[in-house]
Structure 1
């Protein structure tokens, strides 16, 4: 028997004796329709990211599905009208059709939402027009002149200035053609004051694709900008000509005037422009110039960096102040939204339209509007509405770290926090039969502090548990200190932000009051800085970790939300919960044991350095350090992305600048337990600097020669009785076997060293060879290749210095070597993963280059 539609049952169920269907039978729970709709829509966006399709085809299917949903709604309406006129509900043909549509409609609605998300993603990511920059510019860097409109007022980031330009025309060799797309322009000198958002400009430079990830696990600038709709950079220099095209010029945006005035107002009466003042600008106005690497590192390591993104905390406090002030002025509740909401959006504009600010403003707009209209506010439904609006405008935001952090934390606060507080409050509750009026004052104050502390700790715990995997995935940080630091730092941050807002509200009319607020804000910011630095300096305050896998994050959040919300404690599924958790624990333990058996080697790009991770619980090893300029930009980020907090062993193959120029720079931050180098003499100043550093730490230095061991590696060259004139002929050669895969590391061994190696070692065969390009001669001479017979060759070359580039003759010879050859200049930093029974090589983008002998 078919179940009548929900609207019919609600209208006639009691009078006609029809059964009332349960709302849970529908796929879209009508109690929170927007939350469920957002979930289906997100599923479509994810599908579009991993399964691209033609936008026109998707649009056709989405439109057809939408028309089918409307048709079913119309059929249900006709059936309702017919049922009102007939005693027999099933006598009209439309009623029978409605019975079928009642079951198909939720499925079609879900399918429509999935297709809508998929289609919207395709429309935002596909090339739709022939004048798209991706069609005109291609992947090759080129000199070009660009005309377009400034999408933002240029901002300073470090020693560079950035501006986004919406392209209108592109010229190459003096020929102009129409163009569309957003370009990120970078320039080294501060722009003229006449350049601001909305101006039409003409600028020349090198138009190129943003750089991809330099090594697996590092920041992929190309993908990060693509998620913001930017596919090209325009790199300029001090000779670049910037010209304004619009006359008369449009007025400067009001938000720019407000930010300039606000920064001046917040600095009033403060003695100097110090770090605390710049951080106040960053926290209250979104001025990101202050957030340099050294300044923000203590906040990142203590898990409190979120305070400097204009987010829900800032927007919520601004909204609370506005609503409270309007109610004090006796503005009617229904009119509060008409005043508060536009001011919230102005604040979002004044802070630079940061995505986190826009998301929080949308959420607060929905909440204030519902409160003004006397409508009950459901947090989950508001989350769904905000997600739908944001993703309908730009579905690419779903894959941004800030979006994922914001909505995951808010969802956790909505689902997990209330049950947790309900469990914690009985611990500090008093006798419920004792009236509150009989409590002494000290007890009331103590209870208020206890409840506030419980709530603050619960919020900190839930937010930390919800955000920890995402932070580990994107930033490779695990911050237990956030549990301790968040409560005092967020409290100080709230007072600092309140002081800033008070200064801005009173700055024009009551300047002396504004100065008091400025000093108060500066004091609380100093408290934040001191607390964050103290928390980051605690033992075990933070650790660098490898990015968790996708399946781990999925299982983690399923357990977190299931247990936190109490869903998995339900009586009907409690036993199944125990069984599944036990199986997951066994599977996780097995995966951990398997991971310990894997050997991983990472070739660090733009350097000859190779990093070997801990194998079967043994020490890690860094082979060479690279030049000094690559330490902060490449070597340290790679080590941190692999979860390295301390270096066990370091090996110096020989003493040239390209090999060990950054020795002292690296070891000031990551001092090793042992440093291995050969006995061969060298006159390199970089080797002398390293030797001087080691002489001060005699327990660290180790001298090795052929026959010795460095961790899992055996030294093959140089022998103790050899000392060549060129240091490259004395470079250390290492060989190791991981899970029956033999790896030979030649460094940039010169020709004389290669001859010595072939004559002395009877069996040089290896499955994998890693080599660098020497500054004299070529590596892997034919006789050495015949002796090794490798399956794969990884060449550690670089564009600079010039003598480290591979030559055309070498590449031609390698193409005939009978082995797969990969170059770091083409593939970026590569990682070798050797597991029992199989091994593979992946490039900087995470794509598999070679697997078990199959490319």
Structure 2
């Protein structure tokens, strides 16, 4: 027997049929599924028909609807500019309207101006004297540094180049081209010059004025909040401004499982709904009025924050629930969630491939199905107190706080179980500490948003008389936000959070399938026990430490002069990274390390300090920690190296400089060297070629790696481990990024 009442939840089978239709067409594009997925989805859709209530079987029409919508969005006939392009990558001039609602003020000088802005095209031409050709479509502008502030609704004329977004090179790496395509963007436009910038016209003046008011509100909220991290976190959790957050803060919240706090989502909408209902109840607003006005107030907030899919989903679900309250009619939460999914997927079926969409709906469904458990646990733990007659019970406040704390911890645990598989698949992290960390952060976030609302309401009323309330509320926000940051820092360190090898897809599907069976099945104790054992075994298999390894990888291509070489080693030794490379190479190396279960690098060796050889330090340090940093013998060091060197020293890491070698090297022409623990590093130059040699004393066998940059630009990587043969990787200069495994 299943606990899913399809008779009163017609949106659930409709959503399932719609998802099957989307998978049938878009599955090969979204996840690389074989083309045979279409007949499989068709068979599953037909098999679902007899299980649906007889009165709702006409909803099977959502399956062909999903097929048609997926084909339509993949073809995207409304992107008319694509037919005008002579090539996929070409120079052009465009006339466009900015549609990104980023911060456009100048008072918050610590909020960085985004270099990437989405625009809708109005016209395009390919020569300076050619005629403008009207067109439509959405592209992503990428500006040079320093970027120009482009407010919402501004009309621009820009000169640049159309380019295709890069695709994923590594397994587990973010496919940027697919990510943008899921948002309706097929091309980047690399801006050389913004020739003209005009003001807002037409109907866009209304949302532009609303966004301008939002910016002023954000500026007021940041007054009297003195901590720099507190200000950044405050603007991120209230309005979604994450441009001011540095890489260390984002990495800390990612590793603690609290990164969702920086994306306006269901948590923010639910907290704001509870605050609005609290104020309405204190003001004795009639029940039907307060619940009738709630969707409008929440809708305004979701619109001002940019309308993220997770926030829209929560708004739709809460609106249906609130409408039922206002009309005095019962509403099932699962039906509301399914209806919200249908609305979002009909608007853009490709959002099914977005991890945010998957996280949002998966966690909410698990919470709804597990709500009985969350309600029953406090009663089970406090069963003996229920034996006492009501008239003789004492300490009602303490019992209420205890019940609230137990329910919060149970809900946090359910959310952790619901998201653990996806977190392991997308981030290669296992975060058991997030159960308590997220419970505490959610509690503090509620008080932070409540204080922010009070601060926004008090400022226009009391600012003319005294600034004391604003200073008090700003100081309170500072304390609360520092507490949130402290919890995130505690949850980001082992054993609360640690890196794991990216699990196989079948293991993730097995875990979520067993968990779904456990929550959906009523009775059948034996089969539910087996499902629980299967889910626990899959979770344990994902959390196992990586197997000892001695292989590595080489990342080359782009504008970097030297490749990035990663040399893994058996535990407890950490990997060695030679050259962080440019930004893209550093990101690829960090992805390879994290998907193989490494969150700490033993040694990072720099052969140069320019952006082409050290620009990858920023993405690399954002995801993995470095114990020892080896710098070139000669300075001066650039801004990127200086910034990372300061952060490295603050975290307690060691820094060494290549100097006179401490032992004889097998390479002639050694110019500089240093020794750190079991590692000897030598830099050398010979007959126009330069290179780095790494000698490492490993248990039972030593290893030797030599990276040579020839005078012709060719790169040669030689590696010898113990008495075995030498493996050689030869790389030719290329603008295309690539990687190769080292045995």
TM-score (normalised: structure 1)? 0.67
Q: Whole-Å Cα distance in 1 between the matches of residues 55 and 659 of structure 2?
A: 72
Please point out which of 249, 252, 256 is paired with 2:211: 256
Offset at 1:389? 1.1
Please point out which of 541, 546, 552 is paired with 2:496: 541
Aligned CA distance change for structure 1 residues 477 and 375 (closer, same or farther; 3 Å): same
Q: Whole-Å Cα distance in 2 between the matches of residues 50 and 198 of structure 1?
A: 35
Alignment of 1:322-341 (within 5 A): 322-341=276-295
Aligned CA distance change for structure 1 residues 273 and 182 (closer, same or farther; 3 Å): farther
SS across alignment from 2:118: strand
Alignment of 1:553-572 (within 5 A): 553-563=508-518, 565=519, 567=521, 570-571=524-525
Please point out which of 7, 10, 17 is paired with 1:40: 17
Q: Which moved more, 1:102-111 or 1:519-528?
A: 102-111
- Tell me, which stretches of 5 or more residues in structure 2 are unaligned? 31-37, 105-110, 646-653, 668-681, 696-702, 717-725
Q: Whole-Å Cα distance in 1 between the matches of residues 137 and 621 of structure 2?
A: 44
Alignment of 1:215-234 (within 5 A): 215-234=170-189
Alignment of 1:144-159 (within 5 A): 144-155=92-103, 158=112
Alignment of 1:499-648 (within 5 A): 499-511=451-463, 513=469, 516-536=472-492, 538-563=493-518, 565=519, 567=521, 570-571=524-525, 573=527, 577=531, 596=547, 601-605=552-556, 606=560, 607-613=562-568, 621-622=575-576, 624-627=578-581, 633-647=587-601
Q: Whole-Å Cα distance in 1 between the matches of residues 471 and 133 of structure 2?
A: 54
Aligned CA distance change for structure 1 residues 686 and 545 (closer, same or farther; 3 Å): farther
Q: Whole-Å Cα distance in 1 between the matches of residues 376 and 249 of structure 2?
A: 39
Kept after mapping to 2: 8 A contact 1:413/1:459: yes
Q: Deviations over 1:696-743 (max 9, x none)?
A: 999x9887649xxxxxxxxxxx9xxxx983373876599xxxxxxxx9
Q: Does 1:179 align with 2:130?
A: no
Offset at 1:182? 0.5
Please point out which of 686, 691, 701 is paired with 1:725: 686
- Counterpart for residue 72 of structure 2: 123
SS across alignment from 2:689: helix
Offset at 1:311? 1.7
Q: Does 1:319 align with 2:273?
A: yes
SS across alignment from 2:424: helix
- Counterpart for residue 383 of structure 1: 337
Offset at 1:566? 6.9
Q: Whole-Å Cα distance in 1 between the matches of residues 601 and 738 of structure 2?
A: 20
Q: Whole-Å Cα distance in 2 between the matches of residues 276 and 428 of structure 1?
A: 38
Q: Whole-Å Cα distance in 1 between the matches of residues 22 and 147 of structure 2?
A: 39
Q: Does 1:775 align with 2:711?
A: yes
Q: Whole-Å Cα distance in 2 between the matches of residues 404 and 371 of structure 1?
A: 28
- Counterpart for residue 361 of structure 2: 407
Offset at 1:436? 2.2
Q: Whole-Å Cα distance in 1 between the matches of residues 621 and 202 of structure 2?
A: 57
Offset at 1:369? 0.8
Aligned CA distance change for structure 1 residues 598 and 361 (closer, same or farther; 3 Å): same
Offset at 1:555? 0.8
Q: Does 1:137 align with 2:72?
A: no
Offset at 1:833? 9.1
Kept after mapping to 1: 8 A contact 2:693/2:704: no
Aligned CA distance change for structure 1 residues 139 and 379 (closer, same or farther; 3 Å): farther
Aligned CA distance change for structure 1 residues 139 and 548 (closer, same or farther; 3 Å): farther
- Counterpart for residue 61 of structure 2: 112
Q: Which moved more, 1:643-652 or 1:658-667?
A: 658-667
Aligned CA distance change for structure 1 residues 534 and 385 (closer, same or farther; 3 Å): same
Aligned CA distance change for structure 1 residues 562 and 726 (closer, same or farther; 3 Å): same
Tell me the matched-pair count.
Answer: 672
Q: Whole-Å Cα distance in 2 between the matches of residues 375 and 413 of structure 1?
A: 22
Q: Deviations over 1:494-535 (max 9, x none)?
A: 101111112223433344655543333232112222332344
- Tell me, which stretches of 5 or more residues in structure 1 are unaligned? 1-21, 54-60, 70-99, 707-717, 735-742, 749-772, 781-789, 798-805, 807-822, 835-855
Q: Whole-Å Cα distance in 1 between the matches of residues 621 and 263 of structure 2?
A: 33
Aligned CA distance change for structure 1 residues 793 and 139 (closer, same or farther; 3 Å): farther
Alignment of 1:487-506 (within 5 A): 487-506=439-458
Task: Please tell me whether Structure 1 or Structure 2 has the larger radius of gyration of its CA atoms.
Answer: 1
SS across alignment from 2:599: coil
Q: Does 1:483 align with 2:435?
A: yes
Aligned CA distance change for structure 1 residues 571 and 181 (closer, same or farther; 3 Å): same
Offset at 1:581? 7.5
Aligned CA distance change for structure 1 residues 705 and 376 (closer, same or farther; 3 Å): same
Kept after mapping to 2: 8 A contact 1:199/1:249: no
Kept after mapping to 1: 8 A contact 2:715/2:731: no
Q: Whole-Å Cα distance in 2 between the matches of residues 629 and 266 of structure 1?
A: 34
Aligned CA distance change for structure 1 residues 31 and 628 (closer, same or farther; 3 Å): closer
Aligned CA distance change for structure 1 residues 250 and 229 (closer, same or farther; 3 Å): closer
- Counterpart for residue 651 of structure 2: none
Offset at 1:172? 0.4
Q: Deviations over 1:538-571 (max 9, x none)?
A: 44232233333221111111222333x2738614
- Counterpart for residue 251 of structure 2: 297
Please point out which of 402, 407, 412 is paired with 1:455: 407
Q: Whole-Å Cα distance in 2 between the matches of residues 465 and 103 of structure 1?
A: 29
Offset at 1:261? 2.9
Aligned CA distance change for structure 1 residues 189 and 599 (closer, same or farther; 3 Å): closer
Q: Whole-Å Cα distance in 2 between the matches of residues 575 and 457 of structure 1?
A: 23
Aligned CA distance change for structure 1 residues 627 and 31 (closer, same or farther; 3 Å): closer
Offset at 1:674? 12
TM-score (normalised: structure 2)? 0.76
- Counterpart for residue 670 of structure 2: none
Kept after mapping to 2: 8 A contact 1:147/1:200: yes
Kept after mapping to 2: 8 A contact 1:333/1:372: yes
Q: Whole-Å Cα distance in 2 between the matches of residues 335 and 777 of structure 1?
A: 73
Alignment of 1:674-823 (within 5 A): 705=666, 725-726=686-687, 728=689, 747-748=707-708, 774-776=710-712, 795-797=730-732, 806=733
Kept after mapping to 2: 8 A contact 1:383/1:407: yes
Kept after mapping to 2: 8 A contact 1:604/1:634: yes
- Counterpart for residue 849 of structure 1: none
Q: Which moved more, 1:103-112 or 1:485-494?
A: 103-112
Offset at 1:672? 6.2
Aligned CA distance change for structure 1 residues 446 and 576 (closer, same or farther; 3 Å): closer
Q: Whole-Å Cα distance in 2 between the matches of residues 503 and 432 of structure 1?
A: 41
SS across alignment from 1:281: helix
